[in-house]
Amino acid sequence: MLDNVRIARMLSETADLMEIAQEDGFRIRSYRNAAASIESQPESVLEMLKDPSKKVTDIKGIGKGIAHVLTEIAERGSFERRDEILTRYPPTALELLKIQGLGPKSIALLWEHYRVSTIDQLEALCKEGKLRELPRMGQKLEEKVLRSIEIYRRGAGRFLVSYADEVAAALCDWLGEVAPPGKIHVAGSYRRGKETIGDLDLLVETTDAPAVLERFVHAPGVGEVLGKGTNKASAQVGGQNLQVDVRALPAESLGAALQYFTGSKEHNIALRTRAVSRKFTLNEYGLFREGETVAVASAKEEDIYHELGLAWIPPELRENTGEIERAEANTLPALVDLADIRGDLHMHTVESDGRATLEEMALAAKALGYEYVAITDHSKALAMANGLDEKRVLAFARLVQAINKEGHLGIHVLAGIECDILRDGRMDLDDEALAALDIVIGSVHSYMNQESPEMTARLLRAVENPYLRVMGHPTGRVLLHRDPFPFDFDTVAGACAKNHVAMEINSSPERLDLHASLIRAAKSRGVRFVVDTDAHLPRHLGNMKFGVKMARRGWLEKADVLNALPLHGLMKAMRRRPS
């Protein structure tokens, strides 16, 4: 089913195609504005179209023309403007937009001069040295595009966890018609909290496997059915063709199946080796003593680990990186939980590049049960995001003081900023402006191609600023799109610990930065963390669960996370350091 996010994506992609075709800028902006408005609209646009008492033109950015487009989408899943432009440009042209360094105008030039519309064609062009011959392009861009193609290829067949989450939720709802609540379990790398996944594994407890599998293959969004047997069916689901495997099984073997299909492969091999050493056999059906056919444990995961002399190991730790030894010694960490989070410390509003007001973001956080929230719009270096200068920062700090004094929002608001770390490591705002704020997040948004020594020096200088409280998305990675920028992580992490600068675990599904291994490395050096969403819309606040998963994969406990503190504890941690 088309939801608001998919409709917004369709409009945005059409705007990209229109820009490639060099069409009127006003019309392109109207599509982009409509896409942004629809994505942030809490009510389903398709449901609004069905309701005579409602008008989609009441949504900001939706005029009569776009309203007609939405009606077409509701009727047939596409619209005339999109169909027409796709007769001139192949759909593969949109794939080129995933390559860093290329925008719609560059893709138009590629099409005009070389009829390039695929990644393979683009790669061949770069290797032949022909990209540099086009206007405003050169050898450096050619090299950048080739690196980006390599990153894109490495991610081929991988999906963001947010997409998998969306598909899993829809399928669980659909299968809920034939499986009681609590009987559908998502396993695999999704359950372990990996930042990207290759496929999705669903286990369904049932006594009627044919009914479950038959309903699955007829679920909305199911494309090619790859196979269907007596207890398993596989199909490609959704617009991105994510492979989903559904296994129907009796309750008595659920624990063994859940353990087996959760993985990781390395963890399972180590666990099976341990089982053999204790004269057991472990497989997806249960844990068996040698020569016996009745399982010692199968219905519950906990029983399997217990019989092997281990404490139950949370799925996020199952990577064979020391968790089995710690489970044997009963010294596994008490991992931080989503319920421990008391506030979100990184979000944007309409004052920079967000899509909601301060009040809307704060009230959305309150609805999640948070005690506090930090508004951290961009600083002035990000001119395209309408970043705040010193004057606006001081006015913002005064506004937040007034809001908290009045107390009408029912949640404490912290005045913050996501301040750019400039090329030389200086902060983008002067000390007077930073001193007026409750929290300063320092982030790199530019000059990410610096060599490691230069980037390391840049970050170390930033960490020395006495007002910096959090290093935002510390490695700069964008999943499936951009690798982390190079720097000496151990040295920077050590400096963060020394200067009481927390490192961010950014919950945005496109980032999930820091990576689990780096979280563990930073924790070993005494670093503390904040887990936040970098939200630009109220619904983005729900991404906190992905960041908490990363924190758990990094073996973090509640005490490691600053925004698991009550407000008074957080404010103490955020106090200015002596310069």
Residue-wise pLDDT for 338-357, tens only, equals 999 999 999 999 999 898 99
CA nearest neighbour of 248 among 240, 236, 257: 257
CATH superfamily membership of 255-328 = DNA polymerase, thumb domain (3.30.210.10)
Q: Taking 60 as the threshold, does the pLDDT of residue 536 lie above it?
A: yes
Examine the pLDDT at 155 and tell me if it is beyond 70. Answer: no
Q: What pLDDT sits at residue 384?
A: 76
pLDDT at 428: 95
CA distances from 403 to 88, 253, 399, 406, 409 (A): 53, 55, 6, 5, 8
Taking the C-alpha atoms of residue 554 and residue 525, their distance in angstroms, rounded to an integer, is: 13
Helix/strand/coil percent split, the chain, to 5: 50, 15, 35
Look at residue 19 in the predicted model and tell me its pLDDT: 81
How remote is the C-alpha of 537 from its chain's centroid? 14
**pLDDT score recorded for residue 228:** 93
Mean pLDDT of 18-26: 81
Q: Where in the chain is the domain with CATH 3.30.210.10?
A: 255-328
Fold of 4-154: DNA polymerase; domain 1 (1.10.150)
Among residues 168, 185, 175, the alpha carbon closest in space to that of 238 is found at: 168
Any idea of the CA torsion for 513, 519, 521, 523, to the nearest 10 degrees? 140
137 versus 352: which is more confidently predicted? 352
Confidence check: pLDDT of 550 > 80: yes
Is the overall model pTM greater than 0.75, yes or no?
yes
Across all residues in the chain, what is the average pLDDT? 91
**Where exactly does CATH 1.10.150.110 map onto the chain?**
4-154
pLDDT at 1 over 60: no
Residue-level pLDDT at 270: 96
Yes or no: say if 463 and 499 are a contact pair by the CB < 8 Å rule: yes
Give me the pLDDT at residue 562, please. Answer: 98
Rg (Cα) of the chain, in Å, rounded?
26
Q: Which fold has domain 338-573?
A: TIM Barrel (3.20.20)
- Contact between residue 31 and residue 10 where contact means Cβ atoms under 8 Å apart: no
- pLDDT over 70, % of the chain: 99
Question: For 57-66, what is the mean pLDDT?
Answer: 86
- Residue 186 has what pLDDT? 96
Helix or strand (DSSP H, E) at 438: none
Q: If you average pLDDT over residues 423-438, what whole number do you get?
A: 96
Per-residue pLDDT reduced to its tens digit, 246-302: 999 999 999 999 999 999 999 999 999 999 999 999 999 999 999 899 999 999 999
Structure tokens at 168: 């899993």
Least confident of 29-33, 435-439, 561-565: 29-33
Considering only residues 512 and 104, tell me which one the structure prediction assigns the higher pLDDT. 512
Q: Residue 50: its pLDDT value, please?
A: 85
CB 278 within 8 A of CB 308: yes
* Residue 442: predicted pLDDT: 97
Cα–Cα distance, 453 to 450 (Å, whole number): 8
For 190-233, what is each residue's pLDDT tens digit? 999 999 999 999 999 999 999 999 999 999 889 889 999 999 99
Q: Which residues are registered as beta bridge partners of 531?
A: 505
Q: Boundaries of CATH 3.20.20.140 in the chain? A: 338-573
- pLDDT value of position 126: 87
Where does 159-248 sit in CATH, by number?
3.30.460.10
N- to C-terminal Cα separation, the chain: 56
Dump pLDDT digits (tens) for 232-251: 999 999 878 899 999 999 99
Distances (CA, A) of 479 to 194, 244, 456, 512: 12, 21, 22, 8
Residue 142 has pLDDT above 60, yes or no: yes
List where CATH 3.30.460.10 sits in the chain.
159-248
Residues 6+ apart with CB under 8 A from 356: 40, 349, 350, 364, 536, 537, 538
For residue 468, is pLDDT > 70? Answer: yes
